[in-house]
C-alpha cells in the first residue's frame, strides 16, 4: 500500500496542503503520507475559494505523492486518477457520483467533495505533488454561500465513522494510483471522461462570450474541457474560462 501507509493526525490545522508542503520541504516523508485534521482554519479550494467544513464532521486531508512517471504536460492525469478514487469510495454508499470538471465530485447536482492538487515542478519533472481532499461526510448544515453542498449523511440519513472512512478512501485512492504508476493512462482517461458531470447533455454554460448552450464531449490530454456548441463548433476551455450554470 502506498497511499495511507503513513497517516498523521492533528486536531486542527490552518490547511493540510500548506502543512504538508512545509513538511516535505523540511523532513523526509514517504510517498503516500497522509496529513489529516478535524478542522482547517484556512482550508483552501481552487484559487480564490475556501472550503467550509464543520469541526469533526468531515474528511480533510492531504496526500504526498512522487509521480515522477508523469510529464508536467500530463499532470492532469493525477487529478483524473484521484477524482476516480474519490468516486469509487462514494459509490460504496451511493450508486452514482460524477466529476464536475476539473475536480469537484458531485452527487446529482450537489457537491460532496473537492480536490486541490499542487505540483512542484523541477525542470521537466514533477518533483512531488500535494493533493488535498475535502469530503463532506457527517455535516448536516452548511452556512457559507456555496450554492449546493451535500454530505453522505444528508443523502443516506446515516452517520459514519471518519477513521474507517479515511482508511477505505485511502485504499480506493491507492488502487487508482497504482493504475497510474503502471502506465494505464488510457483507462484512467476513458473512465474519467465517462464520469464527467453533464457528459453529452445539452446544458447552459457561461464563457467570455456570455451564456451558451453546449454539451461536454471530452477532456484533452492536458486537461482542457471540450464543449460542443449548438452551432457545431468544438470549444476548448482551460480552468476558469467556463462556468457551469447549475
Lookup: cell for 50: 475556501
CATH code for the domain of 232? 2.30.30
Considering the chain, what is the average pLDDT of its residues? 94
Please check whether residues 148 and 210 belong to one and the same domain. Answer: no
Q: What pLDDT shows up at residue 117? A: 97
pTM, entire model: 0.94
Is residue 51 over pLDDT 70?
no
Q: Phi first, then psi: give them for residue 169, nearest 5 degrees.
A: -65, -40
Q: Phi first, then psi: give them for residue 46, nearest 5 degrees.
A: -65, 160
Please check whether residues 140 and 230 belong to one and the same domain. Answer: no
Q: Is there a contact between 133 and 94 (Cβ–Cβ < 8 Å)?
A: no
Within a domain: 1: no
What is the enclosing helix (H) or strand (E) of 125?
A: strand 125-135
Within a 10 A sphere around the Cβ of 136, how many other Cβ atoms?
A: 28
Q: Collapsing DSSP states into helix, strand and coil, what is residue 20?
A: helix
Q: In what order do the strands lie in the sheet with 203-207?
A: 234-237, 225-229, 210-219, 203-207, 243-244
Please check whether residues 157 and 226 belong to one and the same domain. Answer: no
Please check whether residues 56 and 100 belong to one and the same domain. Answer: yes
Is residue 97 over pLDDT 60?
yes
Within a domain: 107: yes
Structural domain span for residue 239 = 203-244
Please check whether residues 77 and 164 belong to one and the same domain. Answer: yes
pLDDT band at residue 161 under the 50/70/90 scheme: very high
**Residue with cell string 486541490:** 116
More confident residue, 72 or 49: 72
- Residues 166-185: tens digit of each pLDDT: 999 999 999 999 999 999 99
> How many folded domains does the chain comprise?
2
Give the residue-averaged pLDDT of 31-54.
78
Please check whether residues 104 and 183 belong to one and the same domain. Answer: yes
Amino acid at each position: 500500500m502506498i497511499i495511507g501507509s503513513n497517516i498523521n493526525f492533528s486536531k486542527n490545522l490552518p490547511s493540510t496542503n500548506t502543512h504538508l508542503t512545509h513538511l516535505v520541504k523540511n523532513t523526509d516523508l514517504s510517498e503516500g503520507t497522509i496529513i489529516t485534521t478535524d478542522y482547517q482554519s484556512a482550508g483552501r479550494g481552487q484559487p480564490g475559494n475556501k472550503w467550509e467544513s464543520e469541526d469533526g464532521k468531515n474528511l480533510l486531508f492531504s496526500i504526498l505523492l512522487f509521480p515522477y512517471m508523469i510529464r508536467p504536460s500530463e499532470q492532469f492525469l493525477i487529478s483524473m486518477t484521484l477524482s476516480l478514487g474519490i468516486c469509487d469510495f462514494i459509490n460504496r454508499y451511493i450508486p452514482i457520483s460524477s466529476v464536475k470538471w476539473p475536480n469537484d465530485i458531485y452527487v446529482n447536482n450537489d457537491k460532496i467533495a473537492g480536490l486541490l492538487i499542487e505540483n512542484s515542478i523541477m525542470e521537466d519533472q514533477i518533483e512531488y505533488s500535494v493533493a488535498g481532499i475535502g469530503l463532506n461526510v457527517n455535516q448536516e448544515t452548511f452556512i457559507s454561500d456555496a450554492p449546493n453542498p451535500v454530505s453522505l449523511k444528508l443523502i443516506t440519513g446515516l452517520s459514519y465513522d471518519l477513521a474507517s472512512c479515511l482508511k477505505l478512501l485511502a485504499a480506493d485512492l491507492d488502487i487508482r494510483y497504482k493504475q497510474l504508476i503502471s502506465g494505464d493512462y488510457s483507462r484512467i482517461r476513458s473512465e474519467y471522461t465517462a464520469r464527467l458531470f453533464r457528459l453529452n447533455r445539452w446544458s447552459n454554460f457561461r464563457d467570455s462570450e456570455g451564456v451558451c448552450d453546449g454539451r461536454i464531449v471530452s477532456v484533452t490530454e492536458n486537461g482542457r474541457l471540450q464543449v460542443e456548441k449548438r452551432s457545431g463548433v468544438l470549444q476548448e476551455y482551460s480552468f476558469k474560462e467556463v462556468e457551469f450554470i447549475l
